[in-house]
């Protein structure tokens, strides 16, 4: 059981705190302007803001959405596997699943052959909600990239994936 219930309030876990302009006129950014890393960070802040605003009705943050999506498409994951996929510590996955279970989205089912482990599955409500929020997230993603052309968006996606997958270019 989680120490404190977190799913009850409707407020998002991250404060919006007004809009952040990533590049002000009259300000010199020096070496920052040439760094892919800083550009990625700027882009992330820009997108994250809109994500939280767009999903606050459901109290869904990016990690929660990722977890639900991964659980939906890879049923019967163990908690440790989920942690590895999401790149968080096991303890972090426990808290994430606690929250999603409190929200009625995910269930821990006993694993058939291993009495230590659980199989993670979406509830019916979780599946329905995931459909809704996937549409909301897709709309949000389209909105924050609306000023890019279709080609530009595709190119950006491909380059980001190539960047993140590192030197081992097999994705």
109 binds its own copies (CB under 8 A): no
CA distance 137 to 129: 12
- Per DSSP, what are the bridge partners of residue 107? 121
CB of residue 121 to DNA, shortest distance in Å: 12
Q: Where are the alpha helices (DSSP H) in the chain?
A: 36-55, 62-73, 79-86, 90-102, 124-144, 150-165
CA distance 9 to 30: 42
Taking contact as CB under 8 A, which single stretch among the options 4-12, 42-50, 94-102, 109-117 is the one that binds its own copies? 42-50
CB-nearer residue toward its own copies: 23 or 125: 23
Taking contact as CB under 7 A, which single stretch among the options 10-18, 31-39, 124-132, 147-155 is the one that binds DNA? 10-18
Residues 70/121, Cβ–Cβ less than 8 Å: no
Residues 32/38, Cβ–Cβ less than 8 Å: yes
115 binds DNA (CB under 7 A): yes
**Interface ranges with its own copies (CB under 8 A):** 17, 20-24, 27-32, 34-48, 51, 62, 66, 69-70, 72-74, 84-85, 87, 89, 134, 137-138, 140-141, 144-148, 152-153, 155-157, 159-167, 169, 171
């Amino acid at each position: 059981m989680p120490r404190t219930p977190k799913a009850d309030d409707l407020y998002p876990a991250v404060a919006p705190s007004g809009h952040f302009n990533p590049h002000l006129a009259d300000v010199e950014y020096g070496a920052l302007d040439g760094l892919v890393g800083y550009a990625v960070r700027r882009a992330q802040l820009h997108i994250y803001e809109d994500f939280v605003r767009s999903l606050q009705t459901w109290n869904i943050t990016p990690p929660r959405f990722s977890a639900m999506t991964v659980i939906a498409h890879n049923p019967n994951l163990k908690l440790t596997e989920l942690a590895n996929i999401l790149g968080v510590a096991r303890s972090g996955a426990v808290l994430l699943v606690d929250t999603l279970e409190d929200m009625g989205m995910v269930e821990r089912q006993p694993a058939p052959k291993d009495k230590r482990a659980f199989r993670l599955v979406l509830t019916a409500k979780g599946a329905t909600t995931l459909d809704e929020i996937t549409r909301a997230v897709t709309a949000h993603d389209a909105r924050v990239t609306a000023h890019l052309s279709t080609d530009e968006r595709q190119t950006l996606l491909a380059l980001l994936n190539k960047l993140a997958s590192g030197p081992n270019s097999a994705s």
